[in-house]
C-alpha cells in the first residue's frame, strides 16, 4: 500500500473533516508508516463548505459585517480561493436560521439582504466566480433581499421600492436592474442545491420549509401566493420560467433567484465541491480512498458527500471504504459500490459519549488501524 486518500465529511457535532482525516492517518501509519496519506477536507455544499475549499485550495478567509436575516449587524465569513478570483460563500453565515432566536423566526420579515452584501463585498475584491451553499436559511424571499443588496430595485404596482423580504413577494410588480452592480455582468455563480422542490405548491418552498422558519398556516399560504406572483414577475423580467424548475424552492426560493436573476447554475453540492478542488486529480494514483460522514444511511448514497467521492474514485478503478460514526444498514448501502462500510464505534455507548471529541478521535484511529491490518494481511 503506497498511497491512500482520506476524504471524509465532518462528523457534525464531534469532529471536523480535517480532524477525522488526522485521526485516520495516525491509526493507518501504525501499520503502514511509509504510506503516503493525502488528506482532503470535503463537504456537500452545506456547513463546512467554506472551510473545506479554503483548506484544500490554500485560500484565505474574509470577515465582513453584513445584515442578519432581520437587518441587524453580524460578522460573516466567506472564503477566497484560486488566487482571489473565486469566492466561496455559505448563505447561512448571513441569512441562516441559527442567527435568530426561536421567537424571532418570521419568514415574512426575514431577508437574504446580508447574503447579497457578502456577494457584493467579494465582487468589489475582484472575485468573479462564486461557489455558493444555500442550506440552513431563515428566509423565504426568493432571493429578493439578495439582489436588492446588489443594486436591483424591487417595485410595487405604484412604483414604490420594496424591502425584499417575504412580505415583498406578494406586492412585487416589477424588477429594475438598471442600477445593479456592473461587476455582475462578469460574474459566474454555481449554487449547491440538493433538493428538487419547486418554487411553490404543496411541495414548494413555503409549504415544506417555511414552518420550520417560524411560519404559521396563514403565513405559509401568504408566502406561497407571493411566490406564485414572484414567478410571474421574474419571468416577465428575465424571460426565464422558474415555476416548474427543480430546486427553485431551495432556501425559500433563493435557488430560483440565483438561477433567474443572476444566471446561476444549480449543481449537486458534493459535485460542486469536488469539481472546484479537482478531486479526480487529487486521488490519481491512490491505492485506496477512504470517505464517510457522521451517520451512514440511505441518504448517503443519494447525493451526500461519500457518494460523490465514491463516484469519482470508481471512475478511476480505486476501491473506496466508507466509515461513519453510526451505520444504519439498509438495502441502498448494502447494494452500493463501497468496498466496505464500517462504523467506528466498537461497543454499545451513549450517543453523548460517542460524540465526545476524544472518544470519536480514538474510535477513528482504531478503525483505521484495523482496516490497515486487514489490508496488510491480504497483501502479505
Strands 188-192 and 129-133: parallel
Give the largest CA-CA distance in the chain: 80
**Location of each CATH 3.40.50.10350 domain in the chain:** 3-41+279-379
What is the grid cell recorded at 16? 471536523
CA nearest neighbour of 302 among 341, 339, 326, 335:
335
| C-beta separation of 221 from 163 below 8 A | no
Q: For residue 271, is pLDDT > 70?
A: yes
Residue written as cell 471512475? 315
The pLDDT score that the predictor gives to residue 380 is 46
Model confidence at 224: pLDDT above 90: yes
Rounded mean pLDDT of 302-308?
Answer: 91
Q: Which residues contact 253 (CB under 8 A, 6 or more apart)?
A: 140, 141, 142, 143, 169, 199, 205, 227, 230
Q: 136 with 47: CB under 8 angstroms?
A: yes
Provide the 3-class DSSP secondary structure of residue 297: coil
Across the chain, mean pLDDT equals 95
CA atoms within 13 A on the CB side of 94: 31
pLDDT tens digits, one per residue of 83-113: 999 999 999 999 999 999 999 999 999 999 9
Which H or E run includes 372? helix 357-379
| Window from 125-129, 260-264, 331-335 with minimum mean pLDDT | 331-335
What phi-psi label fits residue 143: left (phi over 0), alpha (psi between -120 and 50 degrees) or beta? left
Whether residue 289 is predicted with pLDDT greater than 90 in this model: the reply is yes
Residue range 49-270 in CATH 3.90.470.10: no
Q: What is the pLDDT of residues 162-191, one digit of tens each?
A: 999 999 999 999 999 999 999 999 999 999
Q: Where in the chain is the domain with CATH 3.90.1510.10?
A: 49-270
| pTM, full prediction | 0.91
Residue 346 CB neighbours (<10 A): 11
Q: How confident is the model over 298-309, as a mean pLDDT?
A: 90
218-251 per-residue burial string, b: 16 or more CB within 10 A, e: under 16? ebbebbbebbbbbbebbeebbeeebbebebbbbb
Residue 321: its pLDDT value, please? Answer: 97
Closest of 88, 23, 35, 85 to residue 61, by C-alpha? 88
pLDDT tens readout for residues 197-217: 999 999 999 999 999 999 999
Report the chain's terminal Cα–Cα distance, integer Å.
11
**Which triple of cell numbers denotes residue 313?**
474514485
Looking at domain 3-41+279-379, what is its CATH homologous superfamily?
Glycerate kinase; domain 1 (3.40.50.10350)
How many residues belong to the chain?
Answer: 380
The HSE-up count of residue 192 (CA atoms within 13 Å, CB side) is: 31
CA angle at 373 for the pair 369 and 378, rounded to the nearest 5°: 150
At residue 376, the pLDDT reads 82
| Percent of residues in the chain assigned helix, strand, coil, to nearest 5 | 40, 20, 35
Res 379 pLDDT > 80: no
**What confidence category does residue 351 fall into, taking pLDDT thresholds of 50, 70 and 90?**
confident
- pLDDT given at position 1: 81
Q: Dihedral through CA 278, CA 279, CA 284, CA 288, nearest 10?
A: 180
Cβ–Cβ < 8 Å for 136, 89: no
pLDDT at 228 over 80: yes
Amino acid at each position: 500500500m503506497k498511497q491512500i486518500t482520506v476524504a471524509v465529511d465532518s462528523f457534525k457535532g464531534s469532529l471536523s473533516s480535517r480532524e477525522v482525516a488526522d485521526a485516520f492517518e495516525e491509526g493507518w501509519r501504525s501499520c503502514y508508516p511509509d504510506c503516503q496519506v493525502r488528506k482532503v477536507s470535503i463537504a456537500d455544499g452545506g456547513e463546512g463548505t467554506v472551510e473545506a475549499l479554503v483548506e484544500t485550495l490554500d485560500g484565505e478567509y474574509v470577515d465582513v459585517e453584513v445584515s442578519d436575516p432581520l437587518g441587524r449587524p453580524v460578522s460573516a465569513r466567506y472564503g477566497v480561493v484560486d488566487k482571489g478570483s473565486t469566492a466561496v460563500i455559505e448563505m447561512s453565515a448571513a441569512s441562516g436560521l441559527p442567527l435568530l432566536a426561536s421567537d424571532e423566526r418570521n419568514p415574512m420579515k426575514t431577508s437574504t439582504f446580508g447574503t447579497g452584501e457578502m456577494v457584493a463585498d467579494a465582487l468589489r475584491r475582484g472575485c468573479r466566480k462564486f461557489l455558493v451553499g444555500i442550506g440552513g436559511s431563515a428566509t423565504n424571499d426568493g432571493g429578493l433581499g439578495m439582489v436588492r443588496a446588489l443594486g436591483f430595485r424591487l417595485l410595487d404596482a405604484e412604483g414604490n421600492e420594496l424591502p425584499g423580504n417575504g412580505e415583498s413577494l406578494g406586492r412585487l410588480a416589477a424588477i429594475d436592474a438598471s442600477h445593479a452592480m456592473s461587476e455582475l455582468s462578469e460574474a459566474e455563480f454555481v449554487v449547491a442545491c440538493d433538493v428538487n422542490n419547486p418554487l411553490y405548491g404543496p411541495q414548494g418552498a413555503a409549504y415544506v420549509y417555511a414552518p420550520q422558519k417560524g411560519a404559521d398556516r396563514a403565513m405559509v399560504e401568504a408566502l406561497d401566493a407571493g411566490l406564485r406572483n414572484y414567478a410571474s414577475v421574474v419571468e416577465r423580467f428575465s424571460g426565464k420560467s422558474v415555476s416548474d424548475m427543480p430546486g427553485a424552492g431551495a432556501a425559500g426560493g433563493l435557488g430560483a433567484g440565483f438561477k433567474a436573476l443572476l444566471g446561476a447554475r444549480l449543481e449537486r453540492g458534493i459535485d460542486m465541491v469536488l469539481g472546484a478542488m479537482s478531486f479526480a486529480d487529487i486521488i490519481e494514483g491512490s491505492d485506496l480512498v477512504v470517505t464517510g460522514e457522521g451517520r451512514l444511511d440511505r441518504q448517503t448514497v443519494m447525493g451526500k458527500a461519500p457518494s460523490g467521492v465514491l463516484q469519482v474514485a470508481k471512475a478511476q478503478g480505486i476501491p473506496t471504504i466508507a466509515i461513519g460514526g453510526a451505520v444504519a444498514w439498509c438495502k441502498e448501502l448494502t447494494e452500493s459500490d463501497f468496498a466496505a462500510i464500517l462504523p467506528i464505534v466498537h461497543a454499545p455507548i451513549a450517543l453523548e459519549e460517542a460524540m465526545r471529541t476524544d472518544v470519536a478521535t480514538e474510535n477513528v484511529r482504531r478503525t483505521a488501524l484495523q482496516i490497515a491490518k486487514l489490508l496488510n494481511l491480504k497483501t502479505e
